[in-house]
Amino acid sequence: MPGSEVDYSVRDHTAWLIMNRPDVLNALSKGMFRNLEAGLRNASKDPDAHCIAFKGAGRAFSAGLDIREVSGFTSRKEAREFVYDLVMPFWKRFFNCDKPVLSVVDGPAYGAGAEIALASDIVVASTRSTFAFSGGRVGALCCISAGFGQETIIGRKVVEMNLTGNAIGPEEARSMGLVNYVEDDAGLEDRVEKVLGEIRHVSPISNSCFKRIRRSTMSASVLDIAHRELLRAITSPDFEKGAAAFAEKVRPEYYG
The pLDDT tens digits along the chain (256 residues) read: 545 799 999 999 999 999 999 999 999 999 999 999 999 999 999 999 999 999 999 999 999 999 999 998 989 999 999 999 999 999 999 999 999 999 999 999 999 999 999 999 999 999 999 999 999 999 999 999 999 888 888 778 999 999 999 999 999 999 999 999 999 999 999 999 999 999 999 999 999 999 999 888 888 899 999 999 999 999 999 999 999 999 999 999 999 7
Cα–Cα nearest to 133, from 124, 125, 143, 119? 143
128 within 8 A of 169, measured Cβ to Cβ:
no
At 227 the three-state DSSP class reads helix
Cα–Cα nearest to 42, from 34, 203, 200? 34
Q: What is the pTM (predicted TM-score) of this model? A: 0.96
The single-letter DSSP state of residue 88 is H
Could you give the CA distance from residue 88 to residue 58 in angstroms, rounded to a whole number? 26
CA dihedral defined by 85, 88, 91, 97, rounded to 10 degrees?
Answer: -60
Domains of the chain and any CATH numbers: 6-199 (3.90.226.10)
What is the Rg, in whole angstroms, of the alpha carbon atoms belonging to the chain? 17
